[in-house]
């Protein structure tokens, strides 16, 4: 195995445990557990919820188990009991799963939950999430500062588009395994503190956000893997390095493949994605009549048994 010597290992890598490249036994044990009985279909990710204000023990157990396995699930509120446009139910649902600390990003509503719809004007208009264009693979908040990384995310559908608006979803731990299995050097490259830099956001000459450099993969203090990624080709600066480029290309090919690990789902009204900020994209869509409306809540917490 060829090791990149230009990257100080201690800076990037955990010294022990399954995410350490020096602990292959731990990695292999974790990998085998992870891939064993991994859900094969999107239908396996669906959890029916009777009442989002008061999860039953069975519902909560199913949610936590799925999040441990795949880092994501799709919930479906029982209809017609609950109004899909009620944001309170989303906050309450999150709180029962350890999701408390909401990120108030630039375009969030007053309650810190963002309404994603095609916007007529204003700042939102310049961002792709507020258009009906295709949205490329990313994890949420990849441009956030190191201490404000998004760990959990909830995406709730109020109205679906007439056509399109399908999400593809991939567990970052599966992406990690895919890369490490092919070449462990790719993990070194993507754990480099300057692996991916988002240039400063300047709007009309005013600095909105500083440039943010950081790794693609990092291991949080609680031992969980965190992924920071955007497939956008504009406004992203990647570390100039042969191995980094090869790692990126290998990841890109995986994301654009028809891998059985990539789930695809179009959220319907009263459905939502609840996840530990998994990789996702969105196909283009067309509205007719009532426009597509999704609520998005981003958290500094992971989904956990609260
Ligand atoms: Fe997103």
- Convert the pLDDT of each residue in 85-112 to its tens digit: 889 999 999 999 999 999 986 666 677 8
Q: Which of 3-12, 203-212, 245-254, 295-304 has the lowest mean pLDDT?
A: 3-12
Distance 183 CA to ligand 1 centre (A): 28
In the block, residue with structure tokens 């396996």: 44
> Quick one: pLDDT at residue 79?
67
Distance 141 CA to ligand 1 centre (A): 8
Distance 281 CA to ligand 1 centre (A): 7
Give residues with Cβ within 8 angstroms of 293, minimum separation 6. 85, 115, 116, 117, 157, 158, 159
Cα(253)–Cα(59) distance, integer angstroms: 36
Please report the DSSP string for the chain in residue order.
Answer: -PPPTTS-HHHHS-SSSTT-TT-HHHHHHHHHHHHTT---SGGGGEEEES-TTS--HHHHHHHHHHHHHHSEEEEEEPTTTS-TT-SHHHHHHHHTTT---B---TT--TTS-EEES--SSSGGGGSGGGSSS-EEEE-TTTTS-GGG---EEEEEEEE--SEE--EEEE-HHHHHHHHHHH-HHHHHHHTSTTSEEEPPEEETTEEEE--EEE-SEEE-TTS-EEE--B--SSS-EE---HHHHHHHHHHHHHHTS--TT-EEE---TTEEEEESS-EEEE--EE--SSPPEEEEEEESS-----
Distance 199 CA to ligand 1 centre (A): 19
Q: Which of 10-24, 85-99, 167-181 has the lowest mean pLDDT?
A: 10-24
CB count, 10 Å around CB of 187? 20
Position 250 pLDDT exceeds 70: yes
Distance 8 CA to ligand 1 centre (A): 32
Distance 230 CA to ligand 1 centre (A): 10
> Quick one: pLDDT at residue 160?
95
pLDDT band at 2 (very low <50, low <70, confident <90, very high): very low
Position 208 pLDDT exceeds 90: no
pLDDT band at 3 (very low <50, low <70, confident <90, very high): very low
Nearest to 190 by CA among 214, 169, 173: 214
Angle in degrees, CA 111, 87, 126, rounded to 5: 60
Average pLDDT of the chain to the nearest whole number:
90
Distance 136 CA to ligand 1 centre (A): 9
Distance 25 CA to ligand 1 centre (A): 34
DSSP bridge partners of 197: 213, 237
Cα(138)–Cα(117) distance, integer angstroms: 19
Distance 280 CA to ligand 1 centre (A): 6
Position 60 pLDDT exceeds 80: yes
Higher pLDDT, 71 or 2: 71
Distance 279 CA to ligand 1 centre (A): 8
Distance 4 CA to ligand 1 centre (A): 32
Cα(261)–Cα(45) distance, integer angstroms: 12
Q: What is the mean pLDDT of residues 140-163?
A: 95
Distance 175 CA to ligand 1 centre (A): 17
Higher pLDDT, 8 or 51: 51
Q: What is the mean pLDDT of residues 243-261?
A: 97
Nearest to 297 by CA among 145, 93, 133: 93
Q: Model-level pTM?
A: 0.91
Cα(63)–Cα(157) distance, integer angstroms: 18
Distance 124 CA to ligand 1 centre (A): 14
Position 119 pLDDT exceeds 80: no
Distance 142 CA to ligand 1 centre (A): 10
> Quick one: pLDDT at residue 104?
84
Distance 114 CA to ligand 1 centre (A): 11
Distance 193 CA to ligand 1 centre (A): 22
Q: What is the mean pLDDT of residues 2-10?
A: 45
């Amino acid at each position: 195995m060829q090791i990149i010597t230009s990257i100080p290992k201690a800076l990037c890598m955990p010294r022990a445990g399954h995410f350490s490249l020096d602990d292959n036994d731990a990695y292999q044990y974790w990998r085998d557990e992870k891939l064993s009985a991994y859900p094969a279909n999107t239908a396996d990710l669906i959890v029916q919820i009777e009442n989002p204000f008061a999860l039953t023990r069975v519902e909560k157990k199913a949610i936590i188990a799925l999040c441990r396995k795949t880092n994501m699930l799709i919930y479906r509120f029982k209809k017609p009991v609950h109004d899909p446009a009620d944001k309170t139910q989303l906050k309450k649902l999150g709180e029962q799963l350890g999701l408390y600390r909401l990120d108030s990003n630039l375009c969030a509503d007053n309650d810190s939950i963002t309404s994603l719809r095609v916007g007529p004007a204003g700042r939102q208009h310049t961002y792709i999430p507020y258009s009906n264009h295709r949205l490329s693979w990313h994890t949420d908040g990849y441009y956030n500062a190191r201490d404000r990384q998004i760990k959990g995310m909830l995406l709730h559908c109020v109205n679906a588009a007439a056509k399109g608006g399908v999400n593809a979803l991939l567990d970052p731990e599966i992406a990690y395994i895919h890369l490490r299995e092919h070449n462990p050097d790719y993990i070194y490259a993507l754990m480099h503190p300057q692996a991916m830099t988002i240039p400063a956001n300047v709007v009309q000459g005013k600095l909105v956000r500083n440039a943010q450099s950081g790794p693609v993969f990092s291991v949080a203090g609680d031992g969980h893997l965190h992924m920071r990624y955007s497939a956008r080709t504009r406004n992203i600066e990647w570390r100039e390095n042969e191995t980094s480029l090869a790692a990126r290309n290998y990841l890109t090919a995986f994301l654009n493949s028809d891998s059985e690990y990539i789930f695809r789902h179009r959220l319907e009204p009263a459905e939502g994605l609840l996840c530990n900020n998994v990789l996702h994209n969105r196909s283009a869509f067309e509205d007719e009549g009532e426009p597509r409306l999704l609520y998005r809540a981003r958290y500094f917490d992971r989904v956990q048994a609260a």
